[in-house]
Amino acid sequence: MKLWMKVLIGLLLGVVCGLILGESALYLKPLGTLFLNLINMIIILLIFSSMVVGVNKIHDPSKLGRVGGRAIFIYFTTTLIAIGMGLFLANYLGLGEQLSLSAAQLEMVSPSIGEILIAIVPSNPIAAMANGNILQVIVFALFIGIAINFSGEQGRPLLAVLDSLADVMYRLTSLIMELSPLGVFGIMAWVTGTFGVALLLPLLKFLACYCLVCLLQILLVYYNLLHFGARLSFVRFFKGMSDALMIAFTTCSSAATLPVAMHCAQDNLGVSKNISSFVFPLGLTFNMNGTAIFQAMSAVFLANGYDIELDLASYTKLILTSVLSAIGTAGVPGGGFIMLSAVLSSVGIPLEGLAIMAGVDRIREMFSTFLNILGDSAVTVYVATKEGELDEKIFYHSEIAAVSS
């Protein structure tokens, strides 16, 4: 049985047990607490290792010139637009306000924006890791990754160690996620026993709003990028990438879809191999629009549910952490959900909220991966057009190449 089905079953059983047991469901909460502790156990090393390795997917520093710079700029810009739309709609529609969740009383003094920007760079990276300062860990990992990249062969041994660490952490993440049905069951039983069925309708509203933001991102951003920026047919582009988009939607894995996406771009749309093999892997690291939208909207949803007020400084930190953690998200199923803990921690939202979001995560992830791959593909085609490395005869006249299994 697929993991997402187990999580869904755990959620439903948790809701049923919560309704039956009422406040006595509190005794099941430790199951969820143990699961959250396991996530906290891996998050720092997972972020650090994956971020360093991700930065070094740009093998040749000289390529970070015209092509790499253009692609990364567009990826960051589209991610910021996506987060902005998600935050606007989440606040405009009042997502999570009906939840009325409770948490331990939090004494939060929001720093100024200037203090946040200064505090981004850790004076002691080891202390940042020990204290769980996610944003500082991300920034430190970015600097280490860039330094290794420019160190050439001398930096390769350290990269190999961190690459192995990242692989181990991915595998450990998979093991921990196998326990997620039990954790979700425990927390959902406790939450439902405490708050009742009033929890379910806000989740459906969240999911509908999330899908709307993904659709707006496609129509307002990527359609215009290709139609006006590259002067190409969006319909033809969509048809050419349809095989990759369907695989993305069903597997929920950007990494697994990458070879198919590169094949479609080259054979169906006429993108040169040089551009495709460089810009797509960049997108796998830097372009996680769907993940960033989910993380930002989830933070607003849960903040409203816990009655935690987010001020301007909190939103600044939320946007920065969403962008940077999206970069560090592995392109595998469950990657965005694991990284959500970093975003919630950055603005002081209780991690118990993770269990609430787990119930819709699999459905959300299908749309998220679809958007991520479509964004990677659109930017790749745009860059290829600007570099004169797109064959328009293939783009407009080729037969859709069948993807070999």
Residues 197, 188 contacting (CB under 8 angstroms): no
Residues 265, 386 contacting (CB under 8 angstroms): no
Q: What is the pLDDT of residue 306?
A: 85
Which residues, other chains included, contact 26 with Cβ-Cβ below 8 Å and sequence gap of 6+? 190, 193, 194
* Distance between CA atoms of residues 351 and 357, nearest Å: 10
Q: What is the pLDDT of residue 405?
A: 41
Q: Give the CA-trace dihedral at 271, 274, 280, 281, to 10 degrees.
A: 170
Q: What is the pLDDT of residue 218?
A: 95
Residue 3's identity, in one-letter code, is L
Residues 38, 353 contacting (CB under 8 angstroms): no
Question: Could you give phi then psi for residue 252, rounded to 5 degrees?
Answer: 60, 30
Which residues, other chains included, contact 237 with Cβ-Cβ below 8 Å and sequence gap of 6+? 226, 269, 377, 378, 381, 395
Cβ-in-10-Å burial (0-12, 13-18, 19+) of 168 comes to middle
Residues 218, 342 contacting (CB under 8 angstroms): no
Burial per residue of 263-289, b for 16 or more beta-carbon CB atoms within 10 angstroms, e otherwise: bbbbbbbbbbeebbebbbbbbbbbbbb
* Distance between CA atoms of residues 315 and 296, nearest Å: 9
In 155-252, alpha helices (H): 156-177, 180-195, 200-216, 223-224, 234-240, 242-251
* Distance between CA atoms of residues 82 and 93, nearest Å: 16
Q: Which of 233, 212, 174, 229 is CA-nearest to residue 371?
A: 212
Q: Report pLDDT digits (tens) over 9-20.
A: 887 888 888 888
Q: Give the CA-trace dihedral at 311, 312, 313, 316, to 10 degrees.
A: 120
Question: Could you give phi then psi for residue 8, rounded to 5 degrees?
Answer: -65, -40
Crossing angle of helices 66-92 and 353-386, rounded to 10°: 140
Burial per residue of 313-329, b for 16 or more beta-carbon CB atoms within 10 angstroms, e otherwise: bbbbbbbbbbbbbbbbb
Residues 15, 192 contacting (CB under 8 angstroms): yes
Q: From first to last of the 405 residues of the chain, give the pLDDT tens digit.
A: 766 678 778 878 888 888 888 878 888 888 888 877 887 787 788 778 877 876 676 555 555 567 777 888 898 899 899 999 999 999 998 888 777 666 544 444 444 446 556 767 888 999 988 887 766 887 888 789 888 888 888 988 999 999 899 888 878 877 887 887 888 788 778 877 876 666 667 888 888 999 999 999 999 999 999 999 989 999 999 988 988 888 788 667 777 677 778 888 888 898 887 788 778 877 876 788 888 898 889 999 988 888 888 888 888 888 888 877 666 555 555 666 667 877 887 788 887 777 778 767 767 887 988 999 999 999 999 999 988 888 888 888 754 444 444
Q: Taking the model in full, what pTM does it have? A: 0.68
- What are the chain's domains? 3-397 (1.10.3860.10)
Q: What is the pLDDT of residue 400?
A: 47
Only one residue has tokens 């903040």, namely 303
Q: Tell me the CA distances in angstroms from 58 to 165, 303, 325, 356, one per residue in order.
A: 19, 36, 18, 36
Q: What is the pLDDT of residue 176?
A: 80
Cα 116 to chain centroid, rounded: 22
Q: What is the pLDDT of residue 226?
A: 93
